[in-house]
Amino acid sequence: MSDAALFDLTGRAALVVGSASGIGRAAAIGLGAAGARLICADANLPGAEETAARIASAGGRALARAVDIIDATAVRELVRAAAAECGGIDILVSTPGVNVRKPLLDYSESEFDRVVGLNLKGTFHLLREVGAHMAERGRGSIIVLSSIRSQVVEPGQSIYAATKAGLVQMARTLAAELGRRGVRVNAIAPGVVETPLTEPIKKHADWYRAYAEKSALGRWARAEELAGPVVFLASDASSYVTGAVLFVDGGWTAIDGRFDPPL
C-alpha cells in the first residue's frame, strides 16, 4: 500500500456529529477531501446543510441530518438512517460540547446537568449506538473530541474538565471492549481552538493573548488544523492505534506551568 493510500477513505461512510461549525465542520470537510461519504449531523440543521454543501461543491458526497444527542431515541434513529443511506457507518466523529465558565461553588444544578448532559451523556448515546453497529459489522473507527482540560485545568472549568476527562475514559474503555471485534476508538484533545465555543474569549484581548502564549507555538489553533488528526485516526494509517489520546495542543500540555528562567 502506498503512503497516499494509507489516508484514502474512498468507499467509507463517516458520520460527523457537531458538523455545523468549528472542529466538526473542519473534520467533515477533511474527511470528504480524503474520499469519505459524509453524513453531517447537528442540532443546527442549517449549519450542517451548509457544511454538506461545501463538501459537495468540492466534488464530495454529503447529506445533512438534524439530531439532538441528548435524546437517545433521536440518536438511535439517526444511526439507523445513516447506516441505511450509506450501507453502514465506517467512521464516527463526535464533537459536540458546551461549557459554563464559573467557579464550582457558583454552579447551579441546571448548569451542571446542561454540561454533563450534552458533553458526557450525549456522547454516551452516540458511542452506544454506533459502537453496537460497528461491532456487528466487525470494523470501524470512532473518534471523540476531548480537550486539554481532561489533563490540565484552570479556575472556572471544573465541570467541563470533568466531562472531558470522562470522555477519555469512556473512549478508552470502549476501545478495550470492542478491539477484538474490529472497532478502534480514540480521542483527540485539542488545545485552544478558534471556534464558536471560544468566541467570547476573543473579546478579551489579554485573555486571548495569554492563551496563545501558553503553547509552545505561541498561537491559537485554527479549526482546520484538527482535520488532519481526524483523517489519520479514521484511516488505515492508524490501523494499530486504539485507546489513545492524541493531544493537538501546540505543545500546551508539554510546557504547562513552565517558568523561563533568565539563563
Which are the catalytic amino acids? 160
Compute the distance between CA of residue 17 and CA of residue 41 in angstroms, rounded to an integer.
Answer: 5
Q: What cell does 111 get?
A: 448548569
Among candidates 234, 236, 189, 246, which has minimal Cα distance to 89? Answer: 234
Q: What cell does 32 get?
A: 470528504
Compute the distance between CA of residue 133 and CA of residue 181 in angstroms, rounded to an integer.
Answer: 11
Residue 16 in contact with residue 93, Cβ under 8 Å? yes
One-letter amino acid identity for 138? G
End-to-end CA distance of the chain: 49
